[in-house]
Amino acid sequence: MPGYEPSGLRMRVMRHGGRGAQLASHLLAGWFTSRLEAAFDGETRWNGRRSCLLLSFDVDFPEDVDALPQIVDQLSALNGRASFAVVGRWVEDYPDEHRAIVEGGHELVNHSYSHPELVNAPGRFVSRREDLNDRKWEALSIEERGAEIERCQRVVAETLGVTMTGFRAPHFGNVDPRPLYPILNNLNLHYSTSMLAPRGRKLGLPVMEGDVVEIPVSTCPLHPLSSLDTWHGLYAHGGWHKDNFGEILSKRLHTAHASGGITNIYLDPKDVGRIDMTPVSEVLATLGDDCWVTSYHEFASWFRSEHVR
Ligand SMILES: [Zn+2]
């Protein structure tokens, strides 16, 4: 990426990446969080609102597919649009469940055809399917990754009649989406949401990368280098927030609103039933129209209109 020169907090995260930085971030959560939130100037309005919630669900396993009808029902109560990152092979196998997402008014996001590095690991990821693709995404050549993205795009168009407009890399936490921007551009995929905020060029602030908007994913307010997702909340280290994950999510929404920023999170559908979402509903009711709850597609369309001349 020409001109890409990581610096400051982001550089330290990338250089030290693993456990040391994680431990420091846990001990210095307040400091890290305020550094991350400083990316937002408190003045920027998100389509006229003070803060923004981008809620997404990664449909990685057949078990996630099973949970889709219930989630679409729950979302209709929230009255907001959400985005579902879908895997081409599961769309082929379970078209009706995926069609229900579209009929519920939500968005589909390209999440590759086979979701490479999908492995069964008891206590972590378990699928009733055995024929998973256990290759690592980063081990695929750029051409192979492009073929995965293109095939997912084609399957969803043929099966559901939907043309997706954005992409999320499989297991994106530790992968670099930047080499894929030309491929996304060629496939008319206008956004990517494949990078954690601490690694973002402007931390959590969305940026134009050529013609592609990269929308960074938010991290946990108490563990600011960890993605605020169901794996982190319910499984990592026995589940950092397994008893109060709904409260942690609502804390994140308050933090974003205070800084005038964005909350961009994803949940695994199979685990949503384990979360008490009452605190989230309460915060959203309090913030009302001052928090823009929208899909990536709507967000990226608005962002491009503001930033592309
Ligand atoms: Zn946490």
Q: How far is the CA of 99 from the centre of ligand 1 (A)?
A: 33
DSSP track, 179-227: GGHHHHHHTT--EE--SBGGGSTTTTS-EEETTEEE-PBPB-SSSTTSB
Q: How far is the CA of 248 from the centre of ligand 1 (A)?
A: 8
**The pLDDT of residue 1 is above 80:** no
Give the tens place of pLDDT for each residue, 138-159: 899 999 999 999 999 999 999 9
Which domains, from first to last, does the chain contain?
A: 49-307 (3.20.20.370)
pLDDT of residue 309: 64
Q: Which residues contact 109 (CB under 8 A, 6 or more apart)?
A: 56, 83, 84, 85, 86, 164, 166, 167, 168, 193, 296
Q: How far is the CA of 224 from the centre of ligand 1 (A)?
A: 7
pLDDT of residue 81: 86
Range in 5-14, 19-28, 46-55, 86-95 with the lowest mean pLDDT: 5-14
**H-run or E-run covering 85:** strand 83-86
Range in 96-100, 149-153, 168-172, 180-184 with the lowest mean pLDDT: 168-172
Q: How far is the CA of 305 from the centre of ligand 1 (A)?
A: 34
**The pLDDT of residue 175 is above 80:** no
Q: How far is the CA of 25 from the centre of ligand 1 (A)?
A: 10
Q: Which residues, in sequence order, are bridge partners of residue 223?
A: none
Q: How far is the CA of 205 from the centre of ligand 1 (A)?
A: 20
Q: How far is the CA of 223 from the centre of ligand 1 (A)?
A: 4
Q: Which residues, in sequence order, are bridge partners of residue 263?
A: 53
Give the tens place of pLDDT for each residue, 243-293: 999 999 999 999 999 999 999 999 999 999 999 999 999 999 999 999 999
